[in-house]
Amino acid sequence: MNDMILLKQGELVLKGLNKRSFETRLIANIRKALAPFGEFDVYAMQSAVYVEPQSPDCDMDAALDACGAVFGVNTVTRAAACEKDMDAIFDTAARYLGDELRSAASFKVESKRADKRFPMTSIDISRHIGGRLAEAYPHVRVDVRDPALCVNIEIRDTAAYVHGKALRGAGGLPVGVSGRAVTLLSGGIDSPVAAYMAAKRGLRLIPVHFASPPYTSELARRKAVELAGILSRYCGRMAVETVPFTRIQETIGQSCPEGLHTVIARRFMMRAAERIALYHGCGAIVTGESLGQVASQTLQAMTVTQECISLPVLRPCVGLDKREIIDIANSIGTYETSILPYEDCCAVFTPRRPRTKPPLREVLEAESGLDVEGLVGEALEGIVHGMDRTGYK
């Protein structure tokens, strides 16, 4: 009996000729997620991924938890592998799930025969093993409709596998199969959720945070870095690019109509983000905007905001209300950090009466008196990568 982890792929099974490239990326991502917990052999076969520990000191509980957070994994379960022999399968089920069988009020056996060469059908396997388990555990009644415990048996090419209930995985597509994108990470509730949702569709992300010291504190920047660390469980390692934004916002405040401050500032963010994206070979910019949530997120304001760049802007939260966004933030572990009371630069410089439908003509006129390229270039030269100052030329 070999204890291992069995992962089922989600929508990857629907892919055609490029399915192998998706599986290759998924396996690479799983191996990275498992690296802190020991040495594992990870391989794919028959639309499943097998994770086998290579030494007794592997942390199987932590490995199971890590696998469940990898995008592209639909379900995850601990399983025991054995020979494709009915006696071996029964012995494995009795030993591997014995404690659960002894404490369960009812059970059933559910079998899947992926290896059609096996001489018994799925129904016959379930009846045979179920009958023997009922004799071995007479206090547990058989209930095929609503059992307290389901004993799962899978007959695959190289072995038979016995496991209990499978846990739901992260789903989606493996990070990296859809390309790369910059994601704006403000430190609030919405932007980490947007990053999570974009990564779930296979994007590898570069988080960009805008800081305006002394109006925003070092604690606010560290909050964004901490959020990126939480997201790395799902998105892979992410080093935050922090863009100094003080001079841009002060210049806007001194030179532009107050009602347009937010939309013009966001246009500068888009320009800087696009430059960073192109530097890294990214194909899009991800934001946490939700349609109609605040003054800068009306349809007209968002249209004006992205008019100054050519890369597409992806808004995964656009159709969600605040309650839905908060629910996701809680489920992925970012909410408690997001609500820490450190204001981001957007909150600090919010005008008293922002224009909800800013005309593009007025915005362009207000920007005409600014050294747009100079201000963006200066901000990019002062970028902090992770914790190190690097700058972009």
| 392 vs 46: which has the higher pLDDT | 46
Neighbours of 198 (CB within 10 A): 25
Task: Name the range with the highest mean pLDDT among 8-17, 216-225, 240-249.
Answer: 240-249
pLDDT band for position 40 (cuts 50, 70, 90): very high
| Average pLDDT rounded to a whole number, residues 351-360 | 86
Residue ranges of domains in the chain: 2-168, 180-389
Give the pTM. 0.90
Tokens of 37: 């917990």
pLDDT in tens, 136-163: 999 999 999 999 999 999 999 889 999 9
pLDDT digits (tens, 9 = 90+) for 57-93: 999 999 999 999 999 999 999 999 999 999 999 999 9
Task: Categorize the per-residue pLDDT at 53 as very low, low, confident or very high, splitting at 50, 70 and 90.
Answer: very high
pLDDT beyond 60 at 392: no
* 2-168 belongs to CATH 3.30.2130.30: yes
Q: What is the pLDDT of residue 47?
A: 80
pLDDT at 330 over 70: yes
Q: Range with the lowest mean pLDDT among 216-220, 340-344, 378-382?
A: 340-344
Query: What is the pLDDT averaged over residues 40-65?
Result: 93
Question: What mean pLDDT is predicted for residues 344-352?
Answer: 70
How much is the pLDDT for 1? 56
- Residue 348: what pLDDT? 64
Neighbours of 2 (CB within 10 A): 12
Cβ distance 101 to 149 under 8 Å? yes
Decide if pLDDT at 387 tops 60. no
- What would the CATH number be for the domain defined by 180-389? 3.40.50.620
Per-residue pLDDT, averaged over 338-348, amounts to 76
Q: Of 130, 134, 125, whose CA–CA distance to 86 is shortest? A: 125
pLDDT, the chain, mean: 92
83 backbone dihedrals φ, ψ, rounded to 5°: -65, 155
Report whether pLDDT(185) > 80.
yes
* Residues 6+ away with beta carbon under 8 Å from 259: 351, 353, 354, 355, 358
Could you give the angle at which helices 261-279 and 372-381 cross, rounded to 10 degrees? 60
For 269-321, the pLDDT digits (tens) are 999 999 999 999 999 999 999 998 887 889 999 999 999 999 999 999 999 99
45 or 265: whose pLDDT is higher?
Answer: 265
User: How would you classify the pairing of strands 73-82 and 167-168?
Assistant: antiparallel
High-pLDDT (> 70) share of the chain, %? 96
Query: Tell me, what's the pLDDT at 352?
Result: 78
Mean pLDDT value of segment 370-383: 95
Predicted local confidence at residue 227, as pLDDT = 95
Who wins on pLDDT, 348 or 113?
Answer: 113
- pLDDT of 341: 82
Banded pLDDT at 215 (limits 50, 70, 90): confident
Q: How confident is the model at residue 226 (pLDDT cuts 50, 70, 90)?
A: very high
285 and 182 Cβ atoms separated by less than 8 Å: yes
Q: Looking at residue 390, what is its pLDDT?
A: 44
**CB-CB contact of 263 with 358 (8 Å):** yes
Give a three-class secondary structure readout of the chain. CEEEEEEEECHHHHCCCCHHHHHHHHHHHHHHHHHHHCCEEEEEECCEEEEEECCCCCCHHHHHHHHHCCCCEEEEEEEEEECCCHHHHHHHHHHHCHHHHHHCCEEEEEEEECCCCCCCCHHHHHHHHHHHHHHHCCCCEECCCCCCEEEEEEECCCCEEEECCCEECCCCECCCCCCEEEEECCCCCHHHHHHHHHHHECCEEEEEEEECCCCCCHHHHHHHHHHHHHHHHHHCCCCCEEEECHHHHHHHHHHCCHHHHHHHHHHHHHHHHHHHHHHCCCCCEECCCCCCCCHHHCHHHHHHHHCCCCCCEECCCCCCCHHHHHHHHHHHCCHHHHCCCCCCHHHHCCCCCCCCCCCHHHHHHHHCCCCHHHHHHHHHHCCEECCEECCCC
Cis peptide before 214 (omega within 30 of 0): yes
Q: In this predicted structure, what is the pLDDT of residue 217?
A: 87
- Whether 180-389 and 2-168 are alike in CATH topology: the answer is no
pLDDT at 5 over 50: yes
Please determine, for residue 15, whether its predicted confidence score (pLDDT) is greater than 80. no
pLDDT band at 391 (very low <50, low <70, confident <90, very high): very low
Q: What is the pLDDT of residue 334?
A: 97
Determine the pLDDT at residue 388.
Answer: 42
